[in-house]
Amino acid sequence: MERSLSMELVRVTEAAALSSARWMGRGRKEEADDAATSAMRDVFDTIPMKGTVVIGEGEMDEAPMLYIGEKLGNGYGPRVDVAVDPLEGTNIVAQGTWNALAVIAIADHSRMLHAPDMYMDKIAVGPEAVGKIDINASVSENLKAVAEAKNKDVEDVVAVVLNRERHQRIIEEIREAGARIKLIPDGDVAAAINTAFDHTGVDILFGKGGAPEGVLAAVALKCLGGEIQGKLIPSNDEELYRCQSMGIEDIDKVLYMDDFCGGEDAIFAATGVTDGELLQGVQFKGQKATTQTVVMRAKSGTVRFIDGDHSLKKKPNLVIKP
């Protein structure tokens, strides 16, 4: 995997963020997602790689572009698996709230999990707590392990959880343990990544979310030295069959980092669409717009934060008509 791809991927997420940010607070999540997807797909044609989408917008008959199996890149360069979420947090953008991202991850060919679109139980932490968590252990046991690893009291640990009825028991257990909770409306990719950065104030992620988002979070945490564990949760026979077709016969199998993303190298990039703890969202300032992106590479351990200034002249695709 070529080093130059890191900066190329920044162009991809920046384009998606700039296009979707125009829809912030307008209550139209599908239009926001379409804008991000179209912009991301256009830039992919210029990227020097031979990519195959393994996590995308859906199956070929469900999505017009960035569908699973689609070939991306200009046909030159390394052969890679590609995971994309052009707009991680469509509802966030529609409502104008926090932590929407444009996200892409690539890894060595055939080394990224082809996760089906279903729920996954997840637990994620940053580097200090690697090797200390266990998805099969209780919430309180994991909180104590993280507190010990980070040299703090359980009462000072912050757990992030999607604010969903299905997580009520987890929320109760966190409260019973005495830890603090940050409930989020959407965006568990951003939440998982935040566990690896001290200034976000997040220590651990719990709960059920999308399996594809779990793969994206895993690539980021691989680059950051963190950890995620997951268990697929099929809700019907069709989803069960999809697990089996992926080679997962044991549904109770715990997925570890190497299951999500094997190999030595991977690259992850995310651009803020709306403001968040980690990244500032897109801001439009007269004839220019600003973006903030994080890009990281597993092989080198490099993490870069990139502030971009973008001219809005000669960019009619960024203008929305009522």
> What CATH number does residue 141 fall under?
3.40.190.90
Q: Flag whether 290 is marked binding.
A: no
Q: Flag whether 56 is marked binding.
A: no
What's residue 321's pLDDT? 45
Assess whether 144 and 246 both reside in one domain. Answer: yes
Domain end call among 260, 283, 298 = 260
141-184: per-residue pLDDT in tens? 999 999 999 999 999 999 999 999 999 999 999 999 999 999 99
Q: Flag whether 141 is marked binding.
A: no
Across 62-148, where does the E strand assignment appear? 71-72, 79-88, 101-108, 119-125
Q: Flag whether 238 is marked binding.
A: no
Domain end call among 245, 260, 275 = 260
Domain that holds residue 216: 119-260
- Kindly tell me if the per-residue pLDDT of 318 is higher than 90: no
Q: Flag whether 178 is marked binding.
A: no
- Residue 2 binned pLDDT confidence (cut-offs 50, 70, 90): low
Assess whether 93 and 9 both reside in one domain. Answer: yes
**Tokens 């509802």 label which residue?**
91
Assess whether 136 and 219 both reside in one domain. Answer: yes
Assess whether 289 and 253 both reside in one domain. Answer: no
What's residue 319's pLDDT? 46
Q: Flag whether 79 is marked binding.
A: no
Assess whether 184 and 205 both reside in one domain. Answer: yes
Alpha carbons 229 and 208: distance in angstroms, whole number: 12
Q: Flag whether 156 is marked binding.
A: no
Assess whether 88 and 23 both reside in one domain. Answer: yes
- What is the mean pLDDT of the segment spanning 3-12? 91
The residues near 201 (Cβ < 8 Å, ≥ 6 apart) are: 158, 182, 277
Q: Flag whether 88 is marked binding.
A: yes
- Kindly tell me if the per-residue pLDDT of 315 is higher than 80: no
- What is the mean pLDDT of the segment spanning 39-57? 96
207-250: per-residue pLDDT in tens? 999 999 999 999 999 999 999 999 999 999 888 888 887 777 78
- Kindly tell me if the per-residue pLDDT of 200 is higher than 90: yes
First and final C-alpha spacing in the chain = 43
- Kindly tell me if the per-residue pLDDT of 23 is higher than 70: yes
Assess whether 254 and 276 both reside in one domain. Answer: no
61-93: per-residue pLDDT in tens? 788 999 999 999 999 999 999 999 999 999 999
Lay out the sheet containing 119-125: strands in order across.
Answer: 180-184, 158-162, 204-210, 119-125, 227-233
Q: Flag whether 166 is marked binding.
A: yes
What's residue 322's pLDDT? 44
Our count of domains for the chain comes to: 2
What's residue 213's pLDDT? 97
- Kindly tell me if the per-residue pLDDT of 320 is higher than 60: no
Alpha carbons 65 and 181: distance in angstroms, whole number: 37
Q: Flag whether 169 is marked binding.
A: no
What's residue 3's pLDDT? 66
Q: Flag whether 213 is marked binding.
A: yes
Q: Flag whether 164 is marked binding.
A: yes
At 91, which CATH number? Answer: 3.30.540.10
- Kindly tell me if the per-residue pLDDT of 129 is higher than 70: yes
Residue among 82, 43, 90, 66 nearest 189 (CA): 90
Q: Flag whether 187 is marked binding.
A: yes
